[in-house]
Structure 1
Amino acid sequence: METIQIKGPYNFDLVLDRLSLDPLNSIDLKNRTVKVPLIVEQEPIVAEVKAIGTTEEPEFVINGIEGKEKAEKRIFELFQWHLPLEEIHNHFKSTDLKDIFTFHYGTPLVLDFDPYSCIIKCIIHQQLNLAFAHTLTERFVKTYGFEKDGVWFYPQPERVAKLTVEELRELQFSGRKAEYVIGIATAAVQGELYFEELMRMSDEAIYDKLIKLRGVGPWTVQNFLMFGLGRPNLFPLADIGIQNALKKLYQLEAKPTHADMENYAKSWHPYLSYASLYLWRSIE
């Protein structure tokens, strides 16, 4: 058991609230815990993170990773415990997003639990409403992934690369989406997509590399940079959720144009990813 104290604000209850939107996540809102599936040196590990502190004085207990330094480091990365939110909140106090940041005070940008599963999820979620996107992802994971200690792990690239389009179509994948998911897995197996290397690259270099993959467009890359790697300054202009949030915020009759969105966002740099997150939160 590890006990961790970090600098506030950090509202773990809002973290759990957002994580609970995904049915694959193992959340206990009452006991303030989440079970995290990790692959550390090819070994599946389930870590339990439990909040025992407050928003202003955050404190956590981590179980399941005793003696595993890489797992503890990964937990810090996933929950962004190394990044004080006070500076970010202060930045937005003088912007049009001040009320949203006040309402959702202390909400961090929490990463998806694994970069590979993040990009696979992004591909599956493309052009689907959120409810069916979660349903399709759950079918995929529970059919081809595996479970440990009540926690689901996404199927690893070696497993997915061997699937056929027909097998995924039985889950209600479109033919193209099935091809894209298998193609991503194949690229990972063949070493064309090495996630440890991606973590060290610039946003621009990652964009140039990923955009060459079939099925990967700007929206997918931006979401991967944000939720796969925790990059702080992404603003997906094509995201319908952000467009709807801005329409609500500015009481617009129609969704904003990309030019309008870029104009709104001028004062939100260098924390556009947090602007995106809080805009999503405002309509969830």
Structure 2
Amino acid sequence: MIEAVGPPVLREPQPDAFAALVRSIVFQQLAGRAASAIHQRFLATLPNGLSPQNVLTLPPEVLREAGLSGAKAASILDLATKVGDGTVPLEDAEALADEDLITRLATVRGIGRWTAEMFLIFHLRRPDVWPVDDLGVRKGYAKAHGLALPPPPRALMALGDLYRPWRTVAAWYCWRAVDTVLPEA
């Protein structure tokens, strides 16, 4: 698998934690191109830049006109409110343990474990995140290990122990396995 795909490469992180979380919310359950277009339209509504304060100046209809669903608009507004008022501080995110940060972020509407784990992987570059609820990771694990069906999340949690302390790298290869033709074993 490693020979077929090459070394892991993560996309560049967003400029700050708030921007990374906004991007994650926008990209939830959308194809990459569509999500990217909506994200760009949303950013264009903020001539003074992306910040909690600037987001809170936007009327909800502007968020919808940018292409955000009502639920995603509500999530971004909740994130901006909670970051802005200190309910969900982000300046100490790098110092928090993974589970503590997941718990903190999950207080925001629309941010669950999966979104928090993507934040840990792609923004904070944490090396040992194992997103067992991610269908791509489950399918990729099955493909890479010659399984007929993806393992359920609970089973995948235990199977990931083999990859500690580099489960993020293993997850990256699982994602690549889904769209890579692997040589026969």
TM-score (norm 1): 0.57
Alignment partner of 1:116 is 2:116: no
> Deviations 1:136-182 (Å, cap 9, x if unpaired)?
21221233256xxxxxxx62222112222221111221111101001
CA distance in 1, matches of 2:30, 2:9: 25
Alignment partner of 1:177 is 2:72: yes
CA distance in 1, matches of 2:143, 2:113: 24
Change (3 A) 1:137 1:203: same
Aligned AA (1:270): P
Change (3 A) 1:240 1:164: farther
CA distance in 2, matches of 1:193, 1:218: 15
Query: Which is helix-richer, 1 or 2?
Result: 2
How many residues align structurally?
178
Change (3 A) 1:109 1:131: closer
Alignment partner of 1:197 is 2:98: no
Which stretch has the larger CA shift, 167-176 or 101-110?
A: 101-110
- 1:137 is matched with which residue? 39
Root-mean-square deviation (CA), in Å? 2.2
State, as a whole percentage, how many aligned pairs show the same letter: 28
Aligned AA (2:114): W
Q: How far is the alpha carbon of 1:277 from its aligned partner?
A: 1.6
> Deviations 1:11-37 (Å, cap 9, x if unpaired)?
xxxxxxxxxxxxxxxxxxxxxxxxxxx
Is contact 2:43-2:50 (8 Å) kept? yes
Alignment partner of 1:245 is 2:140: yes
CA distance in 1, matches of 2:177, 2:47: 33
Is contact 1:145-1:156 (8 Å) kept? no
- 1:103 is matched with which residue? 4
CA distance in 2, matches of 1:227, 1:219: 12
Is contact 1:235-1:272 (8 Å) kept? yes
Aligned AA (2:111): V
CA distance in 1, matches of 2:127, 2:60: 35
CA distance in 2, matches of 1:243, 1:233: 16
- 2:115 is matched with which residue? 220
CA distance in 1, matches of 2:56, 2:11: 28
Which stretch has the larger CA shift, 177-186 or 255-264?
A: 255-264
Q: How far is the alpha carbon of 1:119 from its aligned partner?
A: 0.9
Instruction: Return the structure number with greater relative CO, CA threshold 8 A, min gap 6.
Output: 2
CA distance in 2, matches of 1:164, 1:201: 33
**Larger Cα Rg: Structure 1 or Structure 2?**
1
Q: How far is the alpha carbon of 1:267 from its aligned partner?
A: 0.6
Aligned AA (2:2): F
Q: How far is the alpha carbon of 1:207 from its aligned partner?
A: 1.8
Which stretch has the larger CA shift, 135-144 or 269-278?
A: 135-144
CA distance in 2, matches of 1:161, 1:202: 29
Is contact 2:140-2:173 (8 Å) kept? no
**Which runs of 5 or more residues in structure 2 are unaligned?**
180-185
Is contact 2:21-2:119 (8 Å) kept? yes
- 1:93 is matched with which residue? none
CA distance in 1, matches of 2:145, 2:25: 30
Runs of 4+ in 1 over 6 A off after TM superposition: none
Aligned AA (2:119): F
